[in-house]
Chains A and B, each alone.
Chain A
Amino acid sequence: MNNNREIILKLKNVRTYFPVRKGIFKKTVGHIKAVDGVNLEIYRGETLGLVGESGCGKTTLGKSILQLVKATEGEIIYNDKNNERDLRKLNSEEMKDVRKKLQIVFQDPHSSLNPAFTVFGSLEDPLKIYGVKSKAERRRIIGDLLEAVNMRREQMDLYPHEFSGGQRQRIGIARALCIDPDLIVLDEAVSALDVSIQAQVLQLLKKIKEERNLTYIFITHDLSVVEFVSDRVAVMYLGKIVELAMSEDLFGNALHPYTKALLSAIPVADLDRRKERIILLGDVPNPINPPSGCPFHPRCSMSQDRCKIEVPHLINYSKDSNEHLAACHFINQT
């Protein structure tokens, strides 16, 4: 990656564990290691795709960044005009200030809007909190936002049930935009939509990003979508990043056996690109009790004794200036 680019967010060894409690005294008997030691740098103005299967910790990582879930360990450093702050250590007053810059769009547009509020009602709260006092001004801002997401100004007085799924998702995007953020976490933002609507929302997201110079963290399980939107892609497996590369490198030359299997498993709507499927054995292991060593070894076709003992770390395998990191002991042999 270009080293001169500004880092907007730096994650250092972030771990988010959820306790597992049992018995009448709710004794903690173990931890679900949802995010287990993630190091990541996100550059200003890029789209970072975060992919993985369900339960791999991608949503928890997104929420940990926004402090919607408190990370157990590690540093989440947000760089706001060269003022670097660890989000985990901020008090609520300081956090309020930062939250203005970090926003999220949720997966399910049906449950993320309050059905009792009109669109205006849902969208005006953040503006109130961040000091837009006059109602006329708030109406103007929200009207502009709705137009920015290809909806009509008058629609702000309607209730969520009067909109289709695609429109609701666009309202969700407008809500994230309303206080002018720097970074938006898009948590499966297009997964619940029909394909024809999905394309509309994807194009809208691309357009808004260019207009407002935003940074996206795009969390999804759909690799075709990731390839279309992302500059860089991180593949997660059981709470760890197993591969991180520029989008072209990852899709053209995947290194990690998990990424390869994942790519081969995607059904492609192109008859000329039918290919051999690599079928993985078994399911994703239980994150309460992850396998020793490399978390992928029980399902990996190349695993050897070393994989059972030693945890592989992310190593740069790139031959040019773009980073291509992968966590596997046997990359060179493949």
Chain B
Amino acid sequence: MSLDKILSVRNLKTYFYTNNQCTKAVNGVSFDVKKGKTLCIVGESGCGKSVTAYSIMQLLPKLSRIEEGEIIYHSTNGDIRIDQLSRNGKKMRSLRGADIAMIFQDPMTALNPVYSIGFQIGENLKYHTRLSNEEIKSKSIELLREMDIPIPDQRVLEFPHQFSGGMRQRAMIAMAMACSPKILIADEPTTALDVTIQAQIFELMDKLKQDHETAIILITHDMGVVAELADDVVVMYMGNIVESGSIEDVLRSPAHPYTKALLNSIPVLGRGKNQEIKPIRGSTPDPLNRPKGCQFMPRCDFSDDKCLTMPLAVELSETHTTRCWYSDKILQDE
């Protein structure tokens, strides 16, 4: 079983300590990432999806720490417990960027404006490989070419401000792909981009996935993106995974009221003007003042007193898991 898995996260808890208060940003999350597959983490802002990614990369801010749980990277030389590595230790630094790479939401703030694109791609290679400067330069150009950037031998010398938004994101992907990582974490990679450019980036990511057998963890809030790209989906709400499964499981037969409500609340292209959308009532609760039991209870139509205790994860099938007391009822209710 563990052969096709590249990363396992077990009961991960990441807490933030600010102003003498504790925010449980990620509160018991478990999932597996399969080799060469795309896992989408969906959820609204503040649900902990980015913190999960940052935990895997050990890029958390100082005020937070991994409280509990395991992050296991199944490398070719045996399993590595990422959560036990020190944040800036030698081992973590050799993994970060080489085996696990990340691309960020806003390419303009993620790239350093005072260094050329070529230098920033080369940095990664310089640290992780033993290539000579000449080889690094030609490899950078090669990477940019692979990302479909026109005239790469000139572009490699240019600076981020000379690139357009879509090209900056390509350059970021080139940086991330420099050492052919096993896992690519993409944190809302196209939110800042236009749809036509978004389509180009997705096409590129699909190609990379096939060529390099990279597993992708894609963080997004857009159900449309999920439907287009995901193999597996994890739906998060208030620091918990409320539902996980294959794309077919989650989109065709959502078993958690939040997933269901989320799917019903977005207008879908092609369904016309008279499609019915049902907004989810209320808004996400304050993380410092959480509801008791199931976090979705105050906004849920199915809830009753039983929901005052947090439901356990229920396995509906081999792939499909949900965290709701009434998943049977929700599955039947059309």
Contacts and interface: CB of A to CB of B under 8 A. Distances in A.
Nearest to B270: A273
B297 interface: no
Contact of A224 (B203, B251, B266): B266
Interface string B270-304: 11110101111101100000000000000000000
Interface string A218-234: 00010111011111000
Interface in B194-246: 194-200, 202-203, 221-229
B269 interface: yes
Given A194-B45, A195-B44, A228-B277, A271 B198 contact: no
Given A196-B44, A265-B196, A279-B203, A248 B273 contact: yes
A282 B167 CA distance: 9
Contacts of B199: 264-265, 277, 279-280
A18 B295 CA distance: 50
Contacts of A266: 195, 224, 269
Given A199-B280, A221-B194, A269-B226, A228 B267 contact: yes
Contact of A200 (B196, B203, B266, B279): B279
23 contacts: A195-B221, A196-B279, A196-B283, A199-B265, A199-B267, A224-B224, A224-B268, A264-B199, A265-B198, A267-B222, A267-B224, A268-B224, A268-B268, A269-B222, A269-B251, A269-B263, A271-B227, A271-B251, A271-B252, A277-B199, A279-B203, A280-B196, A283-B166
- The majority secondary structure among interface residues of chain A is helix
B224 A228 contact: no
Contacts of B123: none
B265 A196 contact: yes
A225 B277 CA distance: 11
Interface in B144-196: 150, 164-167, 194-196
Contacts of B263: 269
A203 interface: yes
Given A267-B224, A274-B228, A280 B200 contact: yes
A251 B252 contact: no
Nearest to B261: A196
Contacts of B247: 271
B108 interface: no
Contact of A195 (B223, B269, B270, B271): B223
Please tell me the size bucket of the interface on A: 35 or more
Please tell me the size bucket of the interface on B: 35 or more
A175 B260 CA distance: 33
Contact of A267 (B197, B228, B275): B228
Given A53-B195, A264-B199, 20 more contacts: A166-B283, A195-B223, A196-B262, A196-B283, A196-B284, A198-B265, A198-B266, A199-B265, A199-B266, A221-B194, A224-B224, A227-B273, A228-B273, A230-B273, A265-B198, A269-B251, A270-B268, A273-B268, A283-B164, A283-B166
Nearest to B229: A267
Nearest to A273: B270
A30 B167 CA distance: 25
* 10 tightest A-B CB contacts, nearest first: A267-B224, A228-B267, A199-B279, A269-B223, A265-B199, A199-B265, A53-B194, A196-B280, A200-B279, A194-B44
A274 B227 contact: yes
